Amino acid sequence: MWSSFESFFSSEVVFLTANYFFFFYGICLMSIYFAGVFLANRAIARTKKKSLFLQVNDIVSATDIPSVSVIAPAYNEGMTIIENVKSLLSIQYPYYELILVNDGSKDDSLEKLIREFDLVRSDATFITQPIPTATVKYIYRSRDSRYTHLTVLDKNNGGRADALNAGINFATSELVVCTDADCIIEQDALLKMVRPYLEEGEKEIIACGGGIGIANDSVIRNGVLKELRLPENLVPMVQVVEYIRAFLLGRMAWSEINGLMLVSGAFGMYPRKRVIEVGGFDAKTVGEDLELCIRLRSLMEELKLPYKVVYLPETLCWTEGPPDYKILIKQRDRWARGLWETLKIHKKLFFNPKYRYMGIFYFPYWLFFEFGAPIIEFLGIIFIIAFAFFGMINWPMAILLFTAVYLVGCIFSTAAIFMYVKNFDHYKKPKQVVELCLAAYLEPFLYHPVLVYGQMLGYYKKIFKIKSGWGTMTRKGFKVSES
C-alpha cells in the first residue's frame, strides 16, 4: 500500500496534473470574484437610483400596497423571545400581521409570551392546511389592543421548515416574510422589501431577500437596534466581514443578472400563492431556504413565465452569530448538509437546457464552486503535504504563490468593506473600519480553516449516512438596555 501511495504522489504526471488543476480552478474562482465586484457595484448604484423615485414615505402612505405576514418559528428561544417579538411588533408597515410559531419548545418561551403580551388561548382546528404540517394545538391572541396584529401558534415539534409551513397555512396575506424569532428586523424593512414588488411590472418577483448583519454585543432597546457595535470576540467579528462580502459581492452580483439561487432563511419575502403552489418548505432537508428558492425558480421555468429573484443590499435584519468555534462548526456542518441535500434533490437541473441559464450556468456554479470549494481545498492540503513529504515542492515559488493568493483574497474582503461603508451608514467610525480590515486579514488563518472543517464534517456525515438534524445553537442573548 505504501509503495502505491509513494508511486502515485511521486509521479511527475500526477504532480503536473494537480498543479494545473488547482491553478485553473483558482483562476476561475478569482475571475468570478472580479466579476462579482463589478456587478455588485453596478447593482448598488442602480438600486440607490431607483430608490429616489419610490421612497419609503411614499409606500407607507399608500393604500394599495400588498398585505404581509411575518412568520417567525421559535424553538427554545426563551432567553431572547420577548425582545425579539417586540422587535417584530415595532415594524412600520400599514398592513401586516406577525405569526409566531412555537414549534414545541421545551423551555419557558410560551409562558413568557403569554405573560408579557396577555395572550388568550383558542382552538386551532379551523385552520386549513394546504401544506401538511405537524399538529397545531392552539392559537393565542392578545387582549391588549397594542398587540392585535400578533398571533402565536403552538404546535407539536416538526422542525423549522414545518413551523414556517404552519405559519404560511394560517396567513391570509399576499406576501409572506420568513424570518427567525431571534432576529432583530429594521423598522422600515418591510417597506423596503415590498418596493421591488411595486416597481416590477413585466416580471413576477418570486423571492426577495434582504441583507443580514451580525449584532453580537450591540445594544437593543424595546426590540429595536439602538447602537450597532462590532462584536468583542474574534469569531463573530470575522463573520461580520464574511457576511458583508458574501451578501454584497455574492448575492448582489447574482441578483444583477437574475442568477440568485438563495434567499436567506433569516429574512426572505415570497408570494404566498407561489409558496403554496410548490408545496411550501421541504421539511426533509436542513437547507430549506436554498431548496425552496430553486424549486420556485424551477416552477417558473417550467411554466415559461418571466420572473426575478431580488436581493436588497442594505442590511435589514440583524441576528446573533455563532459566538465561538464550536457553534460555528455546527452551523457550517448544517449548511453543508443542506447544500448536499438540495443539489441531490434538484440534480435534474444540471446542464439541462430546459431550465435555460439556471440549468446551464447557475446550478453548475453551485455544484462546482459552492459545493466543490471545500473539497478542493481539502484535497489541496493533502496534495501539498504529500508533495512536501516527497520533496517535490519549490518552496520559494510556493510561498510567493500563497502570499499572492492571500493578498488577493484580502483585497476582495477590503473592497467589500469599503463598498459597504461608502454606501451604508452602519460602520462609519474609522476605528470600526480598521477593525473590520484587520479581521479580514486574519480570516484566512484563524477562521477559514474552521469553516472548511465544518463543511467537510457535514459532507462526511452525508457520505456515511450519519443522522444529524438542525442541532442547537447556544445563544448569549442581545445586550438589552431598559433606559
Rounded Cα distance, 88 and 318, in Å: 12
Q: Which residues of 135-157 are buried (b: 16+ CB within 10 A; e: fewer)?
A: ebebbbbbeeeebebbbbbbbee
Task: Tell me how far apart the alpha carbons of residues 302 and 290 are, in angstroms, rounded to a whole number.
Answer: 18
Report pLDDT for 99.
Answer: 97
Quick one: 239 exposed, middle or buried, by C-beta within 10 A (0-12, 13-18, 19+)?
buried
User: Cα torsion for 220, 55, 59, 308, to the nearest 10°?
Assistant: -90
Which H or E run includes 43?
Answer: helix 12-51
Q: pLDDT tens digits for 97-110?
A: 999 999 999 999 99
Give, in order, the Cα–Cα distances in Å from 105 to each of 77, 84, 117.
8, 16, 18
pLDDT of residue 425: 84
* Selected residue with higher pLDDT from 477 and 91: 91
Lowest mean pLDDT among 142-146, 197-201, 476-480: 476-480
Q: Is the pLDDT of residue 479 over 90?
A: no
Task: Identify the bridge partners of residue 90 per DSSP, sorted by sequence position.
Answer: none
Task: List beta partners, residue 221.
Answer: 224
- 261 burial (CB, 10 Å; 0-12 / 13-18 / 19+) is buried
Look at residue 54 in the predicted model and tell me its pLDDT.
Answer: 62
| pLDDT tens column, 200-243 | 778 999 999 999 999 999 988 877 888 999 999 999 999 999 99
d(CA 81, CA 87): 10
Mean pLDDT, rounded, for 173-194: 91
pLDDT in tens, 446-474: 999 999 999 999 999 999 999 887 666 66
Q: Mind listing the pLDDT tens digit for each residue in 355-400?
A: 999 999 999 999 999 999 999 999 999 999 999 988 889 999 999 9
Average pLDDT score over the chain:
91
Euclidean distance between CA atoms 43 and 289, whole angstroms: 23
Give the residue among 455, 416, 452, 225 at the shortest CA–CA distance from 319.
Answer: 225
pLDDT given at position 168 = 97
Residue 356: the pLDDT is 97
Phi/psi of residue 127, nearest 5 degrees: -70, 125
The identity of residue 150, as a single letter, is L
Assign domain 1-465 to a CATH class. alpha beta
Quick one: DSSP state of residue 281? S
Q: State CA 105 to chain mean position distance.
A: 23
- Of the candidate ranges 34-48, 140-154, 274-288, 322-336, the one whose mean pLDDT is the lowest: 34-48
Strand pairing partners for 319? 214
Average pLDDT over every residue of 156-180: 95
pTM: 0.94
- pLDDT grade, residue 476 (50/70/90)? low
Is the pLDDT at 53 greater than 70? The verdict is no
* DSSP assignments along 165-178, one per residue: HHHHHH--SSEEEE
pLDDT at position 167 over 80 = yes
**Domain segments of the chain as ranges:** 1-465
Q: Are 223 and 90 in contact (CB under 8 A)?
A: yes
Closest CA to 192 of 165, 219, 172, 211: 211
